[in-house]
Every structure is written in structure tokens, then in C-alpha cells.
């Protein structure tokens, strides 16, 4: 089910189940008429998982699609529950685990040779903060800015190729200033094959060799890490940015 507290309503989301069919998130489906032990119907879409043997693993895959009109960096969260049949009364369901998975409509990286700045985003950087940075560069500095999602692509390693064109990320970032709001985000799905929650900050995904490069190196990429959350959310007040304004 979708958390109603997000920026995006269920009418702007598309959920595709393991069978490839689309299922509505806004209203309960006929499959969820069974009750929990609190006599409350499970909301959203429910898929029944076959009996899992001891020490066995069962994987269920879903796809989530967004309407193209959704504003960049809008956030939403999916709420998931795992329920098992009650041993005493198999007709009733008992919720044994709940998860809330935050997601954000982050844009794909579009390399721009004319841009001098790159803003690194993650699921922790919300739409208000993104709009503030975008306004600073486009309206006040008159500069084009690239947007690179570390939670979408999973790394800041300049030696690794960018997934969409195979060119090393360092070639795209050459001679640019990369601004990194260094806020914790859930990097589990982006950096590993595991679905386990893994809180990281973007600076942990940048190999140290690129930070220790000589300052006068030709075509060097420069990084501006903003560790203070308040400074990250208020670019006009960030001391490191004031000499650009």
C-alpha cells in the first residue's frame, strides 16, 4: 500500500505484480478480504506466497511506475506487511512484519558538457531542498547544473563506467564542481544485491584516491561535501557557496 503522507497520490503510481499485471494501490482488491487478528483488512495489493520450507528462500518481485508529470524529487513511500495464517484459526491472518520503503522520483543523469556543477542527490534530499539548489544555480548564477543520483546509480567512483553509456563517471565529471549534500540515505538496494537496509552517506561511496588527488592536476574533479544538514537544505546560507553568488 502507499503511505498517504507522501507527495504523490496513488493515482500517479502504477504497481505491477509478479504476474506483470497492473494493480491499483488506492483501493483494496478482492484478494485481501481475510482479516488480521485485529479484524482490520490489509490495505492495497496482496499476493499470496506458497508455503516456504525451512531454510528456503522465496522472492516476490514488483515494479513501480510513475506518471511522467510528477515533479522531480517528489517523494512517496510504500508500506508492506508480511502476514501468516494463524495456527489456531487458518482463516485469520497475523501480521508478523512491517516495512516502510521510502522512494523518490529522481531524474536520470543527463551529462551536459556545458555544465560546470553537478548536484548529487539521494532519497534523503527532498523536493523543497532540490528546488532551492536548482533556483540558486539557474536563476541566481545563470549556470546549468547536472543532477546525479547516488541512490539510483549506487556509486561515486569516478573510475567506474556510467551505466547508460559505459563512459567512466570521471570523464563526465571532468573539470566540474560536484556538490554533495552528505545526508544519510538507505543505500541497501543501490549498492548491494541485498534488500537489507543500509544507511550510508554519499562520501562513503567515493574512493579516497579521488579526494587525495593533487589540487593542480589537469581536469581534476572537485568535490564540495556539505555535512551539516541545515547547510544542505539552505544553499543560500551555505558558507562554501557564498563566493559563487
- Least Cα distance to 157 among 145, 168, 149, 146 occurs for 168
Decide if 81 contacts 44 (C-beta within 8 A). no
Q: Burial level of 16, CB count in 10 A (0-12/13-18/19+)?
A: middle
Residue 71 burial by Cβ neighbours in a 10 Å radius (0-12, 13-18, 19+):
exposed
Give residue 114's Cα distance to chain centre. Answer: 27
Q: In the predicted model, what is the mean pLDDT of the chain?
A: 76
Using 50, 70 and 90 to split pLDDT, how confident is the model at 245?
Answer: very low
pLDDT confidence tier of residue 193, bands split at 50, 70 and 90: very low
**The whole model's pTM is what?**
0.72
| Stretch (H or E) spanning 185 | strand 185-186
pLDDT of residue 148: 93
Residue 35: band (very low, low, confident or very high) from pLDDT cuts 50, 70, 90: very low
Report the pLDDT averaged over residues 5-16. Answer: 84
Let me know: does 74 contact 104? Beta carbons within 8 Å.
Answer: yes
The neighbouring-strand residues paired with 74 are: none
Out of 9-13, 41-45, 106-110, the most confident range is 106-110
C-alpha cell of residue 190: 543501490
pLDDT band, very low/low/confident/very high, at 238 (cuts 50, 70, 90) = low
pLDDT band at residue 36, thresholds of 50, 70 and 90?
Answer: very low
Q: Bigger pLDDT: 14 or 90?
A: 14
Regarding predicted confidence, which is higher, 24 or 53? 53
Whether the per-residue pLDDT at 31 is higher than 50: the answer is: no
Contacts of 156 by beta carbon, 8 Å cutoff, 6+ apart: 120, 150, 169, 180, 202, 203, 205, 206
Q: Which pLDDT band, with edges at 50, 70 and 90, does 53 fall under?
A: confident
Residue corresponding to grid cell 555535512? 227
Q: What is the mean pLDDT of residues 114-128?
A: 89
Sign of CA dihedral 84, 86, 87, 90: negative
pLDDT for 93 equals 79
Amino acid at each position: 500500500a502507499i503511505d498517504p503522507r507522501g507527495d504523490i497520490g496513488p493515482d500517479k503510481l502504477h504497481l505491477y505484480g509478479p504476474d506483470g499485471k497492473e494493480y491499483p494501490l488506492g483501493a483494496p482488491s478482492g484478494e485481501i478480504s481475510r482479516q488480521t487478528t485485529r479484524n482490520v483488512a490489509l490495505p492495497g495489493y496482496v499476493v499470496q506466497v506458497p508455503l516456504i520450507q525451512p531454510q528456503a528462500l522465496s522472492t516476490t518481485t514488483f515494479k513501480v511506475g510513475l506518471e511522467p508529470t510528477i515533479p522531480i524529487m517528489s517523494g512517496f513511500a510504500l508500506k508492506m506487511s508480511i502476514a501468516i495464517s494463524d495456527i489456531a484459526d487458518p482463516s485469520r491472518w497475523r501480521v508478523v512484519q512491517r516495512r516502510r520503503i521510502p522512494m523518490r522520483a529522481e531524474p536520470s543523469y543527463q551529462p551536459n558538457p556545458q555544465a560546470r556543477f553537478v548536484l548529487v542527490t539521494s532519497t534523503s534530499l527532498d523536493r523543497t531542498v532540490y528546488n532551492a539548489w536548482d533556483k540558486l544555480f539557474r536563476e541566481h548564477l545563470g549556470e546549468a547544473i547536472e543532477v546525479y543520483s547516488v541512490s539510483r546509480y549506487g556509486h561515486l567512483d569516478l573510475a567506474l563506467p556510467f551505466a547508460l553509456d559505459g563512459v567512466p563517471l570521471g570523464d563526465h565529471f571532468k573539470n566540474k564542481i560536484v556538490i554533495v549534500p552528505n545526508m544519510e540515505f538507505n543505500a541497501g538496494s543501490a549498492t548491494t544485491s541485498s534488500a537489507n537496509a543500509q544507511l550510508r552517506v554519499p562520501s562513503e561511496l567515493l574512493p579516497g584516491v579521488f579526494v587525495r588527488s593533487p589540487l593542480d592536476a589537469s581536469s581534476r574533479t572537485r568535490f564540495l561535501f556539505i555535512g551539516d544538514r541545515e547547510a544542505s537544505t539552505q544553499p543560500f546560507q551555505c558558507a562554501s557557496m557564498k563566493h559563487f553568488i
